[in-house]
Structure 1
Amino acid sequence: MTMTHRTRTTTTTTCLLLLLFLLLFALLSDAKIHFSETFDDEDASSRWHKSTFKEDENMAGEFVVTRAIHEGKKTDSKANKGFKTQTNGRFFAYYSSADEVFDNDGKDLVVQYSVKHEQNIDCGGAYVKILPESSEMENFGGSTPYNIMFGPDICGKGIKKVHFILAKHDEHGNEKQYQMKTTVKAKTDELTHVYTLVIHPNDDFEILIDGKSEIKKNIEDEFDILEPKEIPDPSATKPDDWDDRRMIVDEDAEKPEGYDDIPENIADPEHPKPDDWDDDIDGDWEPPMVPNPEYKGPWTQPMIENPKYSGGPWEAPMIKNPNYVPKSEPLALMRNLKHVGFDLWQVKAGSFFDNIVITDSLEEAKSFGKKLFGKKSRKKEKRMQEDFEEADRKKKDDEADEWARETRKNVEDPDALFPPGMEPPEDYDPDDPAHDEL
């Protein structure tokens, strides 16, 4: 039997797809999941422990395992379960622990979870912390040593960012926190969003939101952990002849003759003296005045380009920093990781957390996320939200129309058409037939 070109092409394509599938399967098979939580089973609540942080001040908020809110702002009985902040104006400090300690020595570290701000968040955190085994978790709170803080933080119009903070500890246990310099904008709507942090062994890192890459940089460049490689030369001084003025006054320019005689205002040429104006009867005619287009204000010498301009403000030349010490190991290397915690403050509670996974494989995290919350689920959730908002708008419009009809039918005073505290418009005429439409 002779194999055609088309048959050979199909066979080759099938083999390539099979090869890719086997490669992906091998990658996922080697992946290690350090920690995962979907809150779907009956034991979910028992895996998360409430810290004693702020309890003595009666400021400790509650997390509850519940189902998500979708349609009509009501809990959806078919929705997935998650971990939700429950009390307004409180601190929330809850934690869980991996079955065994883990690290990212020579491998990726991927932290991923979803959050849905069902309360239309105005001010509050929604980030997660990864902590070492040595941390005392009973009173877990803001001062508890951690390694990574990652996730959104929102407060008013000024703060809508995704935190990525690395905490480093010296030999005495003192902690210093390093914040990512670039601002990554957090999502503030009421839909579910998946936040993913990937740290590679070479200190490259990436942050994704809903699978879309938002930043991809190196930790040494993005975090001020090490001394800079170069610094301005402290011994350099600004040259005496350095001139950073781009423009200078033209000292040779002279004021034009008659410049000061130009009036600021002139008689309006569009409104001459009326023909029937009688000075004896009407008084002296005073024409209306308008700004004079020829008037340019007080004269000043013009600016010209500086022929001695040195190219801008002087800056000292850069030299090698004698205090710079190259890293001896990856800056983001973390060992003996064990705990996962939420240490949050929220003015208005209602953030819904779900699908937490910590692994050494981005592909595993993607697979985990798609399995639990794929594109179809996101589209359905968005459509449900839009349908609810549209129904809510229609309901309010119908109520307004009904109120207007009933008011017009039942009241004798036309001004009663307007709710208490609302004045009728100045041009409102109660006898106008057009108002009968109400």
Structure 2
Amino acid sequence: MYAEETSEYESIISRFESVAFYEPFDDSEAPRWSNAAGYDGKYMIGNGSSKLQIEGEQGLILPEPAKRYGVSTLLENEFYFQNQEFVFQYEVRLHQFLQCGGAYVKLLRGGEGFSPESLTDSTPYTIMFGPDKCGNSNKVHFILQFQNPVTKEWVEHHLKNPPGIMQDRETHLYTLALRRNNTFGIFIDTKLAAKGSLLSDFEPPINPPKYINDPADTKPLDWVDEKEIPDPDAEKPKDWDETQSQMIPDPKATKPEGWVDDAALQIPDPGAVRPADWDDEEDGQFQPLIIDNPACKVGCGEWKPPQIPNPLYKGKWSAP
């Protein structure tokens, strides 16, 4: 956040002995982080262009706009979170307003043979989390790549209703909490932004439906789709008149008293006076203004009765 006064930075890494991974970016070289070879953007460690709240605090900076960045590192140890709560969080500051880009993090899937330099868009991951914005799309991603225990297929599951990102130049803390009861919470600056079930609030759901349509089933040749059909024995009633209009003039209507049939709705103003300084050669022929005809307060022109529903109308006949 912005502040008029800054305090001196002090590393707090010693307070996090129980965490699986913590990165304060105290080392300006950040030797354990690597740029991926397939991305043209190169990260740097620094303060960024905006005013600091804590003097000396550093972060991983993506300095050049309109470039793609892929930065990753390897964990020193393997961590297992069975029957434990898992919390992942990091701070994001957009020194320039985000137009089209992402500041999300992927927790890559474990396995042999991966090197940070080989990172690509298709590198397998377990969790993708963080802000992303482009055009009308504005959301905090939460995506899981989960292996179906039956089919062994890896499937990507997207949170159905992700929250929006913070669109300003201040620092914001994005937190993802996964709980033992298969629920999750997304927090922005420690305030709950979204919550739900890991099993049912994703598309597609992690737990597939118990029953599905049989993909091998085929439609029987004698299957009839229509539940009802026109009665083949039905006949149009002899008194059914299809020539009747749906609306007819009201036979009970009468022309209002005071209606003038042969008068115009608007007339030249009879009270208009030609200005004394009017010059026909320069100003053209004088014509009075057109006004509403005072004789037409009730109505003028051809009178027609209003339309009403025709009681004899039946429409085109069709078999029931």
Give the TM-score range, shorter chain: 0.5 to 0.7
Q: Unmatched 5+ residue regions in structure 2?
A: 1-14, 214-218, 230-244, 275-284, 311-320
Which residue in the other structure is 1:415 paired with? Answer: none
| Counterpart among 177, 192, 205 of residue 156 in structure 2 | 177
Which residue in the other structure is 1:188 paired with? Answer: 167
Q: Shift in Å at residue 149 of structure 1?
A: 0.2
Count of matched residue pairs: 247
| Counterpart among 141, 144, 150 of residue 166 in structure 1 | 144
Instruction: Classify the secondary structure of the residue corresponding to 1:187.
Output: coil
| Counterpart among 31, 37, 41 of residue 52 in structure 1 | 37
Which residue in the other structure is 2:8 paired with? Answer: none
Cα 1:143–1:174, aligned 2, differ >3 Å: closer, same or farther?
Answer: farther
Which residue in the other structure is 1:331 paired with? Answer: none
| Counterpart among 95, 99, 103 of residue 80 in structure 2 | 103
Which residue in the other structure is 2:123 paired with? Answer: 144
Which residue in the other structure is 1:311 paired with? Answer: none
Q: Shift in Å at residue 123 of structure 1?
A: 1.1
* 1:346-386 CA distance string (max 9 Å, x none): xxxxxxxxxxxxxxxxxxxxxxxxxxxxxxxxxxxxxxxxx
Q: Shift in Å at residue 132 of structure 1?
A: 2.4
Q: Shift in Å at residue 256 of structure 1?
A: 3.0
Which residue in the other structure is 1:32 paired with? Answer: 18
Q: Shift in Å at residue 268 of structure 1?
A: 5.2
Cα 1:266–1:199, aligned 2, differ >3 Å: closer, same or farther?
Answer: farther
Q: Shift in Å at residue 146 of structure 1?
A: 0.3
8 Å contact from structure 1 (residues 67, 77) kept in 2? no
Q: Shift in Å at residue 98 of structure 1?
A: 2.2
Which residue in the other structure is 1:65 paired with? Answer: 45
Are 2:198 and 1:219 equivalent residues in the alignment?
yes
The AA in structure 1 aligned to 2:178 is: I
CA distance in 1, matches of 2:293, 2:108: 76
Which residue in the other structure is 2:250 paired with? Answer: 256
Q: Shift in Å at residue 50 of structure 1?
A: 1.6
| Counterpart among 94, 99, 117 of residue 94 in structure 2 | 117
| TM-score normalised by structure 1 residue count | 0.47
Q: Shift in Å at residue 32 of structure 1?
A: 3.5
Percent sequence identity over matched residues?
25
8 Å contact from structure 1 (residues 61, 91) kept in 2? yes
Which residue in the other structure is 2:318 paired with? Answer: none
Cα 1:139–1:287, aligned 2, differ >3 Å: closer, same or farther?
Answer: same
Q: Shift in Å at residue 219 of structure 1?
A: 1.3
The AA in structure 2 aligned to 1:48 is: W
Q: Shift in Å at residue 226 of structure 1?
A: 2.7
Instruction: Classify the secondary structure of the residue corresponding to 1:197.
Output: strand
Which residue in the other structure is 2:315 paired with? Answer: none
CA distance in 1, matches of 2:167, 2:22: 25
Which residue in the other structure is 1:228 paired with? Answer: 209
Q: Shift in Å at residue 274 of structure 1?
A: 2.4
Instruction: Classify the secondary structure of the residue corresponding to 2:168.
Output: coil
Which residue in the other structure is 1:385 paired with? Answer: none
8 Å contact from structure 2 (residues 247, 307) kept in 1? no
Q: Shift in Å at residue 46 of structure 1?
A: 0.1
CA distance in 1, matches of 2:70, 2:171: 22
Which residue in the other structure is 1:273 paired with? Answer: 270
CA distance in 2, matches of 1:154, 1:114: 17
Cα 1:272–1:66, aligned 2, differ >3 Å: closer, same or farther?
Answer: same
8 Å contact from structure 2 (residues 269, 289) kept in 1? no
8 Å contact from structure 2 (residues 101, 134) kept in 1? yes
The AA in structure 2 aligned to 1:274 is: G
Q: Which has the higher helix share?
A: 1
| Bigger Rg, which one | 2
Instruction: Classify the secondary structure of the residue corresponding to 2:31.
Output: helix
The AA in structure 1 aligned to 2:250 is: P
CA distance in 1, matches of 2:71, 2:298: 71
* 1:76-123 CA distance string (max 9 Å, x none): 892410001022222211112222111221001111000000022211
8 Å contact from structure 1 (residues 68, 76) kept in 2? no
CA distance in 1, matches of 2:101, 2:254: 63
Cα 1:186–1:283, aligned 2, differ >3 Å: closer, same or farther?
Answer: closer
1:20-419 to structure 2, matched below 5 A, reads 32-42=18-28, 45-54=30-39, 60-71=40-51, 78-134=55-111, 136-137=114-115, 138-156=117-135, 158-169=136-147, 175-223=154-202, 224-228=205-209, 240=228, 254-257=248-251, 267=265, 273-274=270-271, 287=291
Which residue in the other structure is 1:327 paired with? Answer: none
Q: Shift in Å at residue 41 of structure 1?
A: 3.1
CA distance in 1, matches of 2:298, 2:143: 60
The AA in structure 1 aligned to 2:50 is: H
